[in-house]
Structure 1
């Protein structure tokens, strides 16, 4: 790595610092993923605040812990004061095991994805991967991916619940298309004891959702339909609310339009569709996360991409939705409310 003295920081002259940080970005993935794997943030939250005690608690070497702590301090996830370590506010909120918004499983999952980037040059050349992992029902990666993504969706599910006043909506029927972990159903059923929810997804994924929803103690009002949402009939005027969360980015335009048309038919006359996804500006100039995520879809799907607001507006209008609004969340996802 280039010595610090050669980076240059004076005036408005460009320096290589940011490029070097980006090129070495896998270090951050590794440090965060390994720290999460050894529950370092959970130990720190419990008051274990020295490298020696952390090593003993995690059952790993003190030298290894010291290297992780240096990296975590450098990443701004751990703070060092008077020789004692503590979680940053972010780490305390989102990396401590047992908290509902914990992203430690996601950090561990991404550590395992680092090796997959080796295929990116070939996929960029060909325009699609030889096998699209997001389109295979029995891929064993779903067990880790679905559970890891659940915590990411909790903030968006809560915001959508506020926007739709789920808690006060009374006896409503919810339809979660490709619902994965069932997190939307779990959050919304927890807020509204009169609501019921149906999830449509592949059988292996529904099995995961049933388990996770049962942990939230709302399984008695949650049911599943095993199937592919591309081919399964949604019914006619059955549901008050439909959810399409983190699905559109793995689908092509024609499939998204077809799904929205089926949803419009499945909703009651005043029904609402909630879409949650990583949505880019119409000029494709931002936001950064959604733009970068497009490469993930190139690597893992045949036609997926992060789509523009204008794309969603056009698809939804063609499907018969007249009132479409966009709502930011504290996560990289944007919510769309369509009626």
Structure 2
């Protein structure tokens, strides 16, 4: 075979790509990365610690080695640097809960052909509702993704030295931004607007972090709730824009501009697509997730954010890369 001729290897890897989700999610659900971090590096002790079969432990370890998440030498296994940083339970950036959560979503991909044909999912009403029980797991599982981004945003805004600042987090979920920012600035106060069941989770988590006395919540829907007028120094709109269509995003940005004091700053965090839709890879493929799970959501281009924010009254819009697949958009 000519070395320049294409091979089916990469296509086969993509066809079997669901195995990566399965192996990673299963390993996370059995805390394998946490046990490996504790020094349990051989198969039988690891199986005993995890409460799984020896055969099952070996299969998972083989899969994790294949994925580059675990390394093996002389029969002893250990986490890769990535797994040690992002898959060991108890660390702020741990994504294990999210990996286990996505394992349960594999079946939903079977609905993608119909969603592509119809322009959206058939059962979105069961997802975008206040009382969906999946919020309890989801809002906590996805929080780790925002930890490094919230820290970078705090540095850009110099929040630690900002003194008394009032912050509004619209659709704040677990309250991860509030938790990090209140921890950095003991004089800051945060208000989160979200659905009541989600706010309840955030209040509990913020109390556990010892900053609950400076955290308030407003139960409501961001589409209809009043954000107030000239009441906040900083506002946050993190991982919400991809769930919304253009008109709703423009309407929310206008409300956020009005809610900010003169000179206030809006922080947007989301998967932003290049203007020619050539990348980044994660933002591009995430558009299919939104097609499957939202009425009008998608991944939006830089030019669209620029246009929406300018029309809302923001004069200065900048884009900042992060270590995550998301981009920070700072609007003043």
Q: TM-score, normalized by length of structure 2? A: 0.98
- Give ranges in structure 1 of 5+ residues lacking alignment: 1-7
- Return the match for 1:151 from 139, 144, 150: 144
- Return the match for 1:34 from 15, 18, 26: 26
- Give ranges in structure 2 of 5+ residues lacking alignment: none
Moved more, 131-140 or 238-247: 131-140
- The yes-or-no answer on 1:73 pairing with 2:85 is no
Question: Who is 1:191 aligned against?
Answer: 184
Question: Who is 1:142 aligned against?
Answer: 135
- The offset of 1:192, in angstroms, is 0.2
Question: Who is 2:107 aligned against?
Answer: 115
- Return the match for 1:88 from 73, 80, 84: 80
- The offset of 1:130, in angstroms, is 2.0
- The yes-or-no answer on 1:303 pairing with 2:296 is yes
- The offset of 1:128, in angstroms, is 1.2
Rounded to whole Å, the distance in 2 between the matches of 1:183 and 1:265 is 24
Rounded to whole Å, the distance in 2 between the matches of 1:130 and 1:239 is 39
Question: Who is 2:252 aligned against?
Answer: 259
- The yes-or-no answer on 1:313 pairing with 2:306 is yes
1:252/1:134 CA distance change after superposition, 3 Å: farther
**TM-superposition CA deviations, 1:15-34 (whole Å, max 9, x none):** 11111111101100000000
Instruction: Please provide the CA RMSD for this pair.
Output: 0.8
Rounded to whole Å, the distance in 1 between the matches of 2:290 and 2:134 is 16
Residue 279 of structure 1: SS of its match in structure 2? coil
- Return the match for 2:4 from 9, 12, 31: 12
Question: Who is 1:47 aligned against?
Answer: 39
- The offset of 1:149, in angstroms, is 0.5
Rounded to whole Å, the distance in 2 between the matches of 1:329 and 1:134 is 29
Question: Who is 1:5 aligned against?
Answer: none
**TM-superposition CA deviations, 1:130-157 (whole Å, max 9, x none):** 2325521111111111010100110100
Residue 105 of structure 2: SS of its match in structure 1? helix
Rounded to whole Å, the distance in 1 between the matches of 2:45 and 2:120 is 48
Rounded to whole Å, the distance in 1 between the matches of 2:120 and 2:48 is 46
- The offset of 1:84, in angstroms, is 0.5
- The yes-or-no answer on 1:176 pairing with 2:144 is no
- The offset of 1:179, in angstroms, is 0.4
Q: Does the 8 Å contact 1:45/1:86 carry over to 2?
A: yes
Rounded to whole Å, the distance in 1 between the matches of 2:226 and 2:47 is 54
Rounded to whole Å, the distance in 2 between the matches of 1:338 and 1:227 is 24
- The offset of 1:123, in angstroms, is 1.1
Residue 108 of structure 1: SS of its match in structure 2? helix
Rounded to whole Å, the distance in 1 between the matches of 2:123 and 2:149 is 30
Q: TM-score, normalized by length of structure 1? A: 0.96
Q: Does the 8 Å contact 1:134/1:250 carry over to 2?
A: no
Question: Who is 1:62 aligned against?
Answer: 54
